[in-house]
Amino acid sequence: MILLAMGCLFCAPVLFLLSGSIMSRYELTQSLLPMVADQEKLITWVFFPRYPTFEHYARILFQTPQFFVVFWNSMKMVCLILAGQFFIAVPAAWAFAVYSFRGRKFLFTLYIVLMLMPFQVTMLSSYLVLNRLQLLNTHGAIILPAVFSAFPVFLIYRDFCNLPKGLIEAARIDGAGEWMIFRKIGLPLASGGILSAGVLGFLEYWSLIEQPMAFLEDQTLWPLSLYLPEIGIEQAGYSFVAAVITLIPAVFVFLAGREYLEQGITASAVKG
Amino acid sequence: MKLSRRSRRKRQFIWRSENRESHAWAAFLLPSFLGVTVFVLIPFLDVVRRSFVTAVTQEWSGINNYRNVFSNQAFRLAIHNTVRFTAVCLPLLIGLGLFLALWLSRLKQIQLIKSLFLFPLAMPAATVVLIWKMVFSRQGFLDGLLIGLGILPEGTLFDFMGTGASFWVLVFSYVWKNLGYTMVLWLAGIFAVPGDMCEAARVDGASEGQVFRKVIFPNLKSSLYTITVLSFLNSFKVFREAYLVAGSYPHEDMYLLQHLFNNWFVNLELDKMAAAAVCVGTVLFLIILLLQRLWKA
């Protein structure tokens, strides 16, 4: 029971967002005024607004074309990154998990190290190469480096390792080609793990901040996650609605992929 | 000695399949490796080179950049805060996660609770920021709550973001976001411990504490490795919340390495950045190797 209460408390921010998004402008101003005007008074909050309204939703959906631009920027980047990772990271994970070759251990350690490097350490190197490739200030500057991220390789590697080795051997003796084994055995049997990496990836890239901030100057190219904080507290209603809309795809992916997510996390914990 | 035809053919077959195998890995790995080389490895070598030259004229300057970085006040502050943050957060998160996981592992219906705790993972930093501002600002809810509980005297307005307390706001934010993930990792490790082993120990008269220390914990070692690595990885991402709530120059107690790199980047102080990136990269590399040694041994 205590845990349940704690869990609900963890999710409480969503209630703030939802109630804030349907509050009338007058009520919002009343609640947040101490913060906006820096008064010596505490802000107040009601979770069930007295005058619920959808005016902010209407405004954002019908009168703010800018919002759609950044929304689709985000969608485009996330989808392209995940698609790219599927074609690049999954085969790489397969190579590490199934084959033994010289330098495998060294290369894998290299990948783990790269995975753990925070963005700021590699920021300068990324900047230099993106500059050279003339990708700065394009979506490519965000998408391409993310496609070659080492994190999904690491996650999916764990799942491929859990496949029974005998199965692969058997397929080989039956004369199946390596590509065939990968496609007919590897992909289907590790699909849960791949999906879980996809869910984690979606949540990660949906809230990108650092990369677009460093590499995208043009505001029309910005993703939602960077555009959202730019809305000032004076436009609280607008920013609450924008936050709710930002949250929707993430929550949708989270709920739809919850099972895979947990399976994926579980797989990585047990296989040490 | 004469081999039968059949076994000779078999041997040939195995040889052929191994040969084929030995090339296949390269085809699978090559796209990824090429990308990593182009986007990370080669540019990083360039950064190493740049760390020894001046920013504008590209003249050889020896270890001058490194000397500049280490005598830089902001760099020291950022290192101090980042180390402090990691030292506080990792044990806290890992310990709390284990505690909750042990608690949960005794209950039956845990699906809902697990999901509730995992949920913060799905909330983009940008959406949380608004709430954090409302909770932790001078006029925020936390002040109201503490006054209501009688911890703070009536009428005080304590700004959590503008004082040393901002560090703890950051810690809270990190734990909030990652606790569910850590807990699920621990749970998986705990459930992988064979139940009859614990049962047997209990029958033999071991107390719950003993069961945990002698039976469960030794089995969780590999989980601990994964959890530490992933928690470490995620500890750098707290910058998002910190930056969005407090901007480029927050209270000095939450000025992290990430802030510093970001500010250097904006000011185009590339020589310092290069030297600092090499230093931080090297230290992280050593930590990772150390972790691997510790647990794989």
- Cβ of B161: how many Cβ atoms within 10 Å? 21
In chain A, residues with a C-beta closer than 8 Å to the C-beta of B42 are: 129
Query: Contacts of residue A122 in chain B, CB cutoff 8 Å?
Result: 40, 43-44, 277
**In this predicted model, which residue has the larger pLDDT, B296 or B52?**
B52
Task: Tell me what pLDDT residue A240 has.
Answer: 84
* CB distance A194 to A86 below 8 Å: yes
Which among A101, A173, A254 is the nearest to B122, CB-wise? A254
Which spans in chain B are helix H?
5-36, 42-50, 64-71, 73-105, 111-118, 125-136, 141-148, 166-192, 195-203, 208-210, 217-219, 221-235, 239-246, 257-266, 270-296
Nearest in space to A129 (alpha carbons), one of A144, A139, A150, A114: A144
Q: Contact A153/B32, CB-based, under 8 Å? A: yes
User: A with B: how many residue pairs have Cβ under 8 Å apart?
Assistant: 283
- What residues of A are in contact with residue B19 (Cβ under 8 Å)? none
Would you place residue B7 in the very low, low, confident or very high pLDDT band (cuts 50, 70, 90)? low
Suggest the residue from B130, B158, B216, B223 to mutate for an interface test with chain A (most A CBs closer than 10 A): B130
ipTM higher than the 0.90 cut: no
Which ranges in chain A are annotated with CATH 1.10.3720.10?
A: 62-270
User: What is the token pair recorded at B262?
Assistant: 């970001």
pLDDT of residue B39: 87
pLDDT on residue B1: 44
Output the pTM of the full model: 0.84
Q: What stretches in chain A show pLDDT beneath 50?
A: 271-272
d(CA A268, CA A154): 9
Specify the higher pLDDT residue, B179 or B220.
Answer: B179
Query: Residue B15 has what pLDDT?
Result: 45
Q: What percent of chain B shows pLDDT beyond 90?
A: 13
Q: Report whether pLDDT(B20) > 90.
A: no
Write the residue in A40, A113, A247 that is nearest to B285 by C-beta: A113
Q: A10-13 long-range CB contacts below 8 Å, 24 or more apart?
A: A10/B116, A10/B117, A10/B119, A10/B120, A10/B176, A10/B179, A10/B180, A11/B116, A11/B119, A11/B120, A13/B123, A13/B127, A13/B128, A13/B131
| Mutation for A interface: B11, B22, B25, most A CBs within 10 A | B25
**Averaged pLDDT of chain B:** 82
- Cα distance between residue B123 and residue B161, in whole Å: 21
Q: Which of B119, B100, B291 is nearest to B183 (CA)?
A: B100
Return d(Cα B32, Cα A239) in angstroms, integer: 39
How close, in Å, is residue A243 to chain B by CA atoms? 5
- Partners of B295 on chain A (C-beta within 8 Å) are 272
SS3 B53: strand
Nearest to B111, CA basis, from A6, A259, A253: A259
Please name the fold of domain A62-270. Answer: MetI-like fold (1.10.3720)
More confident residue, B13 or A31: A31
Residue B251 above 70 pLDDT?
yes
Averaged over B35-43, what is the pLDDT?
A: 88
Q: Cβ contact (<8 Å) for A254 and B38?
A: no
pLDDT at A93: 92
Q: Closest-CA residue in chain A for B143?
A: A42
Shortest distance between the Cα of B220 and any Cα of chain A, in A, equals 9
Helices A65-98, A140-147: axis angle to 10 degrees equals: 20
Contact residues on chain A for B129, CB-CB shorter than 8 A = 228-229
pLDDT, position B292:
79
B32 to A246: CB separation less than 8 angstroms, yes or no = no
User: What is the pLDDT, as a whole number, of residue A205?
Assistant: 92
- Asked whether the predicted pLDDT for residue B297 surpasses 80, the reply is no
Q: What is the pLDDT of residues B119-171, one digit of tens each?
A: 888 888 888 888 888 888 777 777 777 777 777 776 666 777 777 788 888 89
